[in-house]
Chains A and B, each alone.
Chain A
Amino acid sequence: MDKQSDISTALNHVRAATQELHGAISDAASKRGGAVKADIEIIPMKAKAVADSLKGSLGTQNQAAKKSLTEAVTYLEATGKQAAASVKTSGQAFQTSVRQALADARAAAQKVSEAVAATRSNGSKK
């Protein structure tokens, strides 16, 4: 496998992890009656794992991808913080906080897919 393929594969793994994170929060938020704390307690750890993985892959990316991934890390950290804060609240405040975590996870997924697009575009020009 060449270097470009390795980079793409690593990025695809990170993308899948970010999508899974969004899916987990989204599933919780869409429950009838709203999310419950047990669904959200695991989110900060998951968000940190994805963010750490992303940080580890930054060095191998092109400039455009690196910029998007750096922003993705920021959103992932915000997702984790928001989820951690949400479990300390209750009622409407909890649901609002979960929705904000969902929006941050969505933004992280968007940034990672932008990095994927930048890598693909870069690869097709070579």
Chain B
Amino acid sequence: MKNYVAVVFDDTGKAYQGLHTLWELDGDGAITVHGTAVIHRDNWGQVSVDTKETHPALATAVGVGMGALLGALAGPAGAAVGAAGGAAIGAATGGAVGLTTDLVRADHRDQAADETRFVLGNGQSAVIADVSEDDVSVIDSRMGELGGIVYRRAKSAVEDDAWLNDDYYPYDDYLYPYEYIPSRYYYPYYW
């Protein structure tokens, strides 16, 4: 089955270990990873994503595509936030992802039990991944060993929730189709 997975970690180093582990699992053939990205939410609530364009001293704010994906992972109301937030979501509405999620939880308790809502707290980092997995326990157990909390939504459900033409919200474009770790995270964070 195709799923979007968000694995939340308390620190960035662990998030990159989690990313590395996902690609290792892909290399072993246990899952297939289609794309990954690492995002952070700082102590002021601003969400940023690591890209090749991220300057070490200046985090890249989450753009329209990633904002839409994060919103869609958070549920229908989150998708609206993602769309409305646009390029400014990192600064203006990134902090609302978690808040919106709480509202969504209250309003949509009848969602499938195996789908959980993505929450990123201040100071936390997360690996966002687009994966094909036959057995969800593979990711759950390995990420659990690293201290990560796994949130998962079916790709089809995310696309339904986004209810916007993905030509306009190409969230997959933000996910690298190979293991990409910015050089600054190799040391001291990354073993």
Task: Give the B-binding residues of A (Cβ under 8 A).
Answer: 8, 18-19, 22-23, 26-27, 29-30, 102-103, 106-107, 109-110, 113-114, 116-117, 120-121, 124
Contact = CB atoms under 8 A, between A and B. Distances in A.
A29 B53 CA distance: 8
Contacts of A27: 52
B115 interface: no
Interface residues of B, number: 18
Given A114-B132, A120-B32, A22 B52 contact: no
B134 A121 contact: yes
Among the interface residues B2, B32, B172, B173, which one has the most CB atoms of the partner chain A within 10 A? B32
Nearest to B54: A30
Contacts of B172: 106-107, 110
Interface string B151-180: 000000000000000000010110011100
B35 A23 contact: no
Contacts of A117: 2, 32, 34, 132
23 contacts: A19-B178, A22-B177, A22-B178, A23-B178, A26-B176, A29-B52, A30-B52, A30-B53, A102-B173, A103-B170, A106-B35, A106-B173, A109-B35, A109-B177, A109-B178, A110-B177, A114-B34, A114-B132, A116-B32, A117-B32, A117-B132, A120-B32, A121-B132
Given A22-B177, A124-B134, A110 B35 contact: yes
Interface of B: 2, 29, 32-35, 51-53, 130, 132, 134, 170, 172-173, 176-178
